[in-house]
Amino acid sequence: MNQSRIPILVYHHVYPDEQAAQAGPAAGVIGVSEFDRHMQWIREHNWSVISTSALVDSLVERKPFPARSCVLHFDNGWLDTFSVALPRLKEWGMTATCFPITNGIEAASGGESLRVRTLTEGNVEKPFMNWEQLGQLAGAGWEIGAHTHTHCKIADKHDAEGDDGVLREVEQSHGLFQKRLGFVPDHFAYPSGSRSARTDVLLRDRYCSLRLWRWEWPIRWIYTDEATSPYAIECQNIDARVPFDQFERIFREAQ
């Protein structure tokens, strides 16, 4: 029997356990042991990790989702996605989609650091991966998506600078992807979930899918289902504030 809803799990940081413990219940952070526990649960309960493109193909073609399928996303392009999450997912035989902030990747490639504004952690200056490492993700079977050049809130950018401001973010990002990796991403994730009807119109001409992101507490899971538009994909944000029974509930409610 095919499922009617699909979990899209969004992670930001996967830290070694000691570093995660020092971070406490920080938004956006999870320890590697808990991350492994998630992946083990997925494997032991016979769920399969599929690509973002496979999900979008099902939505576009209005075909049922493959039974017991989920999707993994990693936002921003933090170094620990490469140094911690990549080797762990290799062990599990899984891949994911990474949505990097291109000016962070560019800064790291030049040996520089960059402070960015995030909804999960506030204004932070943390290590990004570089272009070579991002290319290694792609070589390992990961999909690479777009997440703007500066991690701006797109709706705010449009309010301040209009269509041209949004399109500059896209063009800067695309230019670096093409120059450094030789391709332009097919999928886009809205930073901080900030969007509007007008930004949807602008971006849907440039991507195969747009992923939303909601920041709510207490948690309210909202799913991508068979009637979801490829330009309004829902997801579930996962970090240390999500107890394991809530992680399991994501999958129970998806069936």
Q: Please list the pLDDT of the chain residue by residue as tens digits (255 residues).
A: 456 899 999 999 999 999 999 988 778 999 999 999 999 999 999 999 999 999 999 999 999 888 999 999 999 999 999 999 999 999 999 999 999 999 999 999 999 999 999 988 889 999 999 999 999 999 999 999 999 999 999 999 999 999 999 999 999 999 999 999 999 999 999 999 999 999 999 999 999 999 999 877 777 889 999 999 999 999 999 999 999 999 999 999 998
Q: What is the CA radius of gyration of the chain?
A: 17
In eight-state DSSP terms, residue 193 is G
In this structure, what token pair is assigned to residue 100? Answer: 């990097």
In this structure, what token pair is assigned to residue 64? Answer: 């049922």
**Which amino acid would we find at residue 199?**
T
Question: CA 65 → CA 97, 141, 223, distances in Å?
Answer: 18, 21, 13
Instruction: Give SS3 for 56.
Output: helix
- Indicate the Cα dihedral angle 48, 36, 241, 74, nearest 10°: -60
| Distance, first Cα to last Cα, the chain | 9
Say what the pLDDT of residue 2 is: 58
Helix pair angle (154-181, 131-139), 10° resolution: 80
**Which amino acid would we find at residue 27?**
A
**Whole-angstrom distance, CA of residue 248 vs CA of residue 255:** 12
DSSP string, 77-101: TBHHIIIIIHHHHHHHT---EEEE-
**Whole-angstrom distance, CA of residue 61 vs CA of residue 142:** 23
Cis peptide bond N-terminal to 218, omega within 30:
yes
Say what the pLDDT of residue 1 is: 46
Closest by CA position to 237, among listed 78, 90, 29, 94: 29
Q: Locate the DSSP E strands across the chain.
A: 5-6, 8-11, 13-15, 29-31, 48-49, 69-76, 97-100, 116-118, 122-124, 143-144, 187-189, 209-211, 224-225, 236-237
For the entire predicted model, the pTM comes to 0.96
Q: What residues contact 101, with CB distance under 8 A and at least 6 apart? A: 76, 77, 116, 128, 147, 148, 149, 150, 151, 191
Say what the pLDDT of residue 120 is: 87
Q: Which domains does the chain have, with CATH numbers?
A: 5-254 (3.20.20.370)
